[in-house]
Amino acid sequence: MSEAERPIARLPQSGSFPRTTTVGSYPVPEWLVTAPSEQAVIDATRVVFDLQRQAGIDLPTDGEFYRFDVNHPDTNGMIEYFVRPLGGVRSHLGRSDREAFAANRTMRFRAKPAAVVEGALTEGSLDLIDDCRRAASVAGGPFKFTLTSPYMLARTLLDRYYGDPETLLMELADVLASQVRGLPCACVQIDEANIPGNPGDGPMAARAINRVLDAVDAGTERAVHFCFGNYGGQVIQPGDWRSLIEFLNALRADHLVLELAHRPADDLETLRDVRPDLALGLGVIDIKVNHVETADEVARRIERAAAVLGAERIAYVHPDCGFWMLKRSVADRKMAALARGRDLFLGGRPAD
């Protein structure tokens, strides 16, 4: 049976809620860094799926190793992997490119653009379905596949062609929409870490993200992940959830994947205003610290959220963001704590 003919593993519609999931990235194994190859990426993907399933994660992710670049080890490729293959862009930069990007100040924590747009955007050599099929071949069951939001990608680019931010944004959305059709996974998740610091762009960001969500196949869950940035354990974007409620309610997603463990406790109250048909995924594992939560800590965080929002609103519990900045030993123990804490919550009120 070819990969195209293989049935897609879907999540069962029954079972205990909340389910456990991870957000996306996993620490790159040292042996993959030392000897990167196509087979090594497949082997690493198989390992991270198995680790998550053994830890008790209901909806694992593939670790995003297909984005790994040995020449760019300080990020997990959530930007460059998507923009550098595109047609119409140039990734080799000169002084004037860096100066023009700095003058635009669209993304202040980047010193230079990820690429320069010099022509009409096309998919170029971007091929998400190939990477998703590779993950599906070793997943061992239902899994989540992730991609970066068109809004966040657009903010990293220096536009020398369209001359209008929203036109650039929607062109990027069209490229990504064509890429998500037919992905052989149980859930497609769009990752957005820039809009929390720019809530005024909410309307156009929602239009772009919805264009991608609408292209996801029927029967595949549609999720959107939001965080306030993570680099070296640091928050990158200012802001709060209250200013984003209207934006969140405009999304045509099935559930949200929200950073909450590293956020103020009153953020939960704000989420009462998320429309009731939009299920919530709540961050109960703090990935910005090395402290490994106990099962009791996780269960209490879920219990507090259920008391404020109602247990029926909570579809998933998960880490705040991806694990790529942590050591594997820390990430693995945090995943195990997530599953044990969820099970403790379902079994009753956590013990003192």
Domains and CATH numbers, the chain: 19-347 (3.20.20.210)
| 46-71 tens-digit pLDDT | 999 999 999 999 999 999 999 887 66
**pLDDT range class, residue 238, cuts 50, 70, 90:** low
Query: For the range 131-136, what are the long-range contacts, defined as Cβ-Cβ under 8 Å and sequence gap of 24 or more?
Result: 131/66, 132/183, 132/184, 132/185, 133/3, 133/4, 133/184, 134/41, 134/42, 134/45, 134/66, 135/45, 135/49, 135/62, 135/66, 135/185, 136/3, 136/6, 136/8, 136/9, 136/184, 136/185
Residue 240 has pLDDT above 70, yes or no: yes
Share of the chain above pLDDT 70, in %: 88
| 145-165 tens-digit pLDDT | 999 999 999 999 999 999 999
Arithmetic mean of pLDDT, 122-128? 97
Residue 155: phi and psi, rounded to 5, are -70, -20
308, 273 contact by CB (below 8 A): no
Higher pLDDT, 264 or 336: 336
| 281-313 tens-digit pLDDT | 999 999 989 999 999 999 999 999 999 999 999
Residue 179 has pLDDT above 90, yes or no: yes
Residue 15 has pLDDT above 70, yes or no: no
Q: Where is average pLDDT lowest: 7-11, 46-50, 78-82, 142-146?
A: 7-11
Q: What's the pLDDT at 108? A: 66
Q: Where is average pLDDT lowest: 20-24, 105-109, 258-262, 321-325?
A: 105-109
Q: What's the pLDDT at 197? A: 80
Residue 349 has pLDDT above 60, yes or no: no
| 26-43 tens-digit pLDDT | 999 999 988 989 999 999
CA 219 remoteness from chain centre: 20
Q: What's the pLDDT at 145? A: 98
- pTM for the full predicted model: 0.92
Q: Please tell me the distance from the alpha carbon of residue 59 to that of residue 316, in angstroms, as a whole number.
A: 9
Three-class DSSP category at 204: helix
Arithmetic mean of pLDDT, 258-270? 86
**pLDDT range class, residue 320, cuts 50, 70, 90:** very high
Residue 215 has pLDDT above 60, yes or no: yes
Q: Please tell me the distance from the alpha carbon of residue 202 to that of residue 281, in angstroms, as a whole number.
A: 20
Arithmetic mean of pLDDT, 120-132? 97
Question: Average pLDDT over the chain, rounded to whole?
Answer: 90
Q: What's the pLDDT at 332? A: 97
User: Alpha-carbon torsion 254, 258, 260, 263, what sign?
Assistant: negative
Q: Where is average pLDDT lowest: 4-18, 38-52, 90-104?
A: 4-18
